[in-house]
Structure 1
C-alpha cells in the first residue's frame, strides 16, 4: 500500500485482504498463461469469486471500513500484459458508501 494510504486510518488493517486476494489470483492467471486452451470464462469467474471472498471483511481494529476489490474482466489478450489492473476501495460499513478508489495492479 502506498505511503499516503498508510497514514489514512480508513485503510488500516485492509492490506491483508488485498494481499490474500493477490496471492490467490496470481497462480490462477499464471496457469492460464501457461495453458493456451485455458477457459477464460472460468478464469474470470474464479477471479470474481476471490474478489468477493476477500472484500467486505474488516480486519483487526478497523471496524468502520471494509475493502472492496474491483477486478476487471480478463480477455485472452490481456494475459500478455502480465498485470491485472484492479481497483481497490474503502467502504464505510455504516453507510455502505465507497469513499475512495485507487488503481492497484496485480503483477503476475
Structure 2
C-alpha cells in the first residue's frame, strides 16, 4: 500500500471468512509451539534478520510464496488466541480495525 493510501476493511466479510477457515482447518503442531522475538543483537548487527524465513507476521512479507506453507500454523495460533481470550473473533478484528484507523489518522 502506498503512503497515504487507505483501504476499507469489510469486518463482517473478514470475520465470516476467518471463521470458515478456522472451523475447517486441521492443524498438526504441538501445543508447546511458539514464536520468539528476534534478539536485539541480530537486529543491530544483521539487517537480514528482519527478513522472515519461515513466518510472516504483518503485511510486509505476507504474500511471499516461500512463506505460504506456514499459514496453517498461524491459523492455529489465531484459533488458540480466540479460544483463550473468550472474545469473539469479530470483536478482535473490530478492535484491530479501530486501532489501524486511529494510527492512520495520526500519520496523515
TM-score by length of structure 1 reads 0.26
Q: Which protein shows a greater Rg?
A: 2
Higher strand share: 1
User: Normalising to structure 2: TM-score of the pair?
Assistant: 0.26
